[in-house]
Amino acid sequence: MKKIYDLTVIGNGMVGSYSFLEIRKRYRDININFVHDKKRPGSASAAAGAMLNVFGEIDYDKQMDNYQQRKIDIGILSQKKWKNFFKENDEYIKCNTAKNTIIYKSKNATKLEKNCFKEIKKWNDKYNFKNHNLSKQILKYKKKIKNINSPLDEFIGISGEGAVDTNLFFSIFDKNLKNNKKTTISLDKILTITKYKNYYKILGNKNYYYSKKIIVCAGSDSSKILSNITKKIMPIFYGVGTAFVAHPKQNEFEALPKNTVLRSPNRGSTCGLHVVPRNDKTYYIGAGSFISKSKIKSFGRVETIKYLTNSLQKELIGPAPYLEFIPVVGYRPISFDCKPLIGMINNHPDIFFISGTKRDGLTYSPVISDAIINWLDNNKNYELFKNWEPERKPLSYGDTPFAIESYIENKIAGLIEHNNENKKNYKKIYAELKFEANQFHKNIIKKLKLKKDFGIHPEILNIY
Ligand SMILES: Cc1cc2nc3c(=O)[nH]c(=O)nc-3n(C[C@H](O)[C@H](O)[C@H](O)COP(=O)(O)OP(=O)(O)OC[C@H]3O[C@@H](n4cnc5c(N)ncnc54)[C@H](O)[C@@H]3O)c2cc1C
């Protein structure tokens, strides 16, 4: 006789794994089918630093909507929940490898980076996440970097903005995960889902499964899995993130503040330098990003590794000729409008969908897990994620002229940062980018039948 599961979870990134733990605590008796690949190919969570961001990821964003405020509210709540998680789950405490964050600014920063820095300072001051100890660490570090002629000139200390070693997290999680009467672990890749009587048939590469309820949290692949169920989810792209884990041979990182993330603000096209300590004395160094319509078959971008190693040595640690490293790559799930897609599928309220979490999904995982529990309890969407439902219409990024200006600013910052252009050619580049952005806008608006003055997010604009 075929088995019909009460719930199937597709995807074992942080969203799927964290939620699985919480669902199991609350619903001990339901039959859960957890479908995934143990190696987590392409998982954003496995490739992430991973910082529990609230202020560090704030962009200079002139949009007149309340996106920044929402990010901060959800971020602060998420941080609290992560702290509780570590308190209540002893085994995982060693995954919490950093407790604070220091943001730095370089004298040579582009206009965009300076603006991001100011914005972070503004919000951090408003919420007053300062801490005396951090100021002491900054002073000590400032003295040390004089020896390497670092161009850094300003710092912001953010208390409580920590980090999680996701690889350690997953190794503990996987070790504890066992097949039992109530949980089935299906190592498979899901291809499609179809409605079948009053439940769903889930077709995988190896097998098929039946389930009454389904959570789809398969990163950028999530909407493909639902292609037989709905065509209304906007395109989701692969935000290819390249980073590396540094294995120090000498004392290259000795001068850095302890238990603390040291990072730049965003530097255009979402690049920036993040140094995240891990508890095995390695350091996560991230991360670049480029957006692609499909997966890539490589270990990342040489240019990104070059950029990260150069910045690391020039700005933070000085020459490190013997540093060894392992590259990591993962796909940030990025929706067409760069906002999250979280909630039930309209005509299929027994399917809950999570994607589009971009640079914040790791941080948000505990709150997303609350949204899932709320759905299981009440069959409802979660108030905190209102207007981010999966089948919503794309949200405009300001209007067209605003989006074009942002695109130019972002692009110029990226070009200067990567030494592909210098500031002297600014006028010429500005004109070329404006022309290109106008063309891109016209084409996409026509192709996707959007409103005439729709503003396309600067990170998405040139992938069409
Ligand atoms: C380099 C990098 C750095 C980042 N840094 C941070 C950070 O510091 N802080 C932060 O909050 N966020 C960060 N992010 C973003 C964050 O990682 C993501 O938003 C979040 O991890 C998404 O989690 P997820 O579980 O939804 O997706 P994923 O982690 O991508 O997990 C999806 C899982 O589903 C599996 N899967 C895919 N297709 C199928 C299928 N058909 N069947 C079965 N399984 C499938 C995949 O193998 C994968 O294991 C970063 C991302 C990257 C790439």
- pLDDT tens figures, 291-317: 999 988 777 889 899 999 999 999 999
Please say whether the dihedral angle defined by the alpha carbons of residues 246, 249, 250 and 251, taken in this order, is positive or negative: positive
Mean pLDDT for 435-446 is: 93
**Of the ranges 20-24, 60-64, 222-226, 240-244, which one carries the lowest mean pLDDT score?**
60-64
Pocket test for ligand 1, best of 167, 203, 359 (most atoms within 8 A of CB): 359
User: 127: closest CA among 65, 162, 77?
Assistant: 77
At residue 214 the predicted structure's pLDDT band, cuts being 50, 70 and 90, is very high
How many C-beta atoms surround the C-beta of residue 131 within 10 A?
15
Q: For residue 217, how far is its CA from the centre of ligand 1 (angstroms)?
A: 9
pLDDT of amino acid 64:
61
Note the pLDDT of residue 151.
Answer: 92
- Strands 4-10 and 32-36, sheet pairing: parallel
**Can you tell me which atom of ligand 1 is nearest the CA of 16?**
25
Give the pLDDT score at 300.
81
Residue 8 vs residue 68, higher pLDDT: 8
Index of the ligand 1 atom closest to the CA of residue 189:
42
271 pLDDT band (50/70/90 cuts)?
confident
Q: What is the mean pLDDT of residues 214-223?
A: 98
58/379: higher pLDDT: 379
Where in the chain are all domains bearing CATH 3.30.9.10? 97-163+237-333
Axis crossing angle, helix 111-127 with helix 67-88, rounded to the nearest 10: 60
CA of 51 to the centre of ligand 1 (A): 13
- For ligand 1, pick from 10, 43, 368 the residue to mutate: most ligand atoms within 8 Å of CB: 43
Q: What is the pLDDT of residues 356-395, one digit of tens each?
A: 999 999 999 999 999 999 999 999 999 999 999 999 999 9
**CA–CA separation, 283 vs 305, rounded Å?**
14
Q: Please state whether beta strands 208-216 and 199-204 pair in parallel, antiparallel, or not at all (unpaired).
A: antiparallel
* pLDDT, greater one: 16 or 250: 16
Mean pLDDT within 106-113? 88
Our mutation pick for probing the ligand 1 site, out of 45, 51, 216, 275, counting the most ligand atoms within 8 A of Cβ, is: 45
pLDDT at 420: 62
Residue nearest ligand 1's atom 4 by CA? 48
Superfamily of 4-45+167-235+337-385 according to CATH: FAD/NAD(P)-binding domain (3.50.50.60)
Rounded alpha-carbon distances, angstroms, from residue 23 to 130, 152, 371: 35, 45, 11
Closest to 348 measured CA to CA, from 216, 232, 231, 230: 230
Q: How far is the CA of 383 from the centre of ligand 1 (A)?
A: 23
- Tell me how far apart the alpha carbons of residues 19 and 377 are, in angstroms, rounded to a whole number: 14
Protein residue with its CA nearest to atom 30 in ligand 1: 43
Spatial distance between the Cα atoms of 358 and 333, rounded to a whole number of angstroms: 5
Q: Which fold has domain 97-163+237-333?
A: D-Amino Acid Oxidase; Chain A, domain 2 (3.30.9)
- Alpha-helix runs per DSSP H in 269-390: 302-311, 361-378
Task: Give the integer Cα–Cα distance in Å for 423 and 427.
Answer: 9
% of the chain surpassing 90 pLDDT: 75
Which ligand 1 atom sits nearest the alpha carbon of residue 204? Answer: 42
Question: What pLDDT, in 10s, does the model give residues 323-366?
Answer: 999 999 999 999 999 999 999 999 999 999 999 999 999 999 99
Residues 259-269 have pLDDT tens digits of 999 999 988 76
Tell me which residue of 217, 240, 221 sits closest to 364, measured CA to CA: 217
Q: Please tell me whether residue 100 adopts helix, strand or coil conformation.
A: strand
Ligand 1: atom nearest CA of 328 is: 1
**320: its two tokens:** 């490190």
**To test ligand 1's pocket by mutation, which of 20, 81, 101, 221 has the most ligand atoms within 8 angstroms of CB?**
221
Please determine, for residue 426, whether its predicted confidence score (pLDDT) is greater than 90. no
User: Which atom of ligand 1 is nearest the CA belonging to 357?
Assistant: 19
What pLDDT score does 63 carry?
67
DSSP element (H, E) containing 332: strand 324-335
* Cα–Cα distance measured from residue 215 to residue 227, given in angstroms and rounded to the nearest whole number: 15
| Closest residue CA from atom 27 of ligand 1 | 219
Give the E-state strand segments of 159-315 in sequence order.
183-187, 190-196, 199-204, 208-216, 236-247, 260-263, 274-277, 283-286, 290-292
Q: Which of 129-133, 207-211, 236-240, 324-328 has the lowest mean pLDDT?
A: 129-133
Residues with C-beta less than 6 Å from any ligand 1 atom: 10-16, 35-37, 40-45, 47-51, 53, 189-190, 217-219, 221, 225, 241, 243, 286-287, 330, 332-333, 354, 357-363
Which residues of the chain does CATH 3.50.50.60 include?
4-45+167-235+337-385
Q: What is the pLDDT of residue 282?
A: 95
Residue 177: pLDDT band (50, 70, 90) is very high
Residue 68 has pLDDT above 90, yes or no: no
How high does pLDDT run on average in the chain? 92
Q: Which of 14, 216, 362 to mutate to test the pocket of ligand 1 (most atoms within 8 A of CB)?
A: 362
Residue 43 alpha carbon to ligand 1 centre in Å: 4
What does the alpha-carbon distance between residue 262 and residue 273 come to, in Å, rounded to a whole number? 8
**pLDDT at 270 exceeding the cut of 60:** no
Residue 301 one-letter amino acid: R
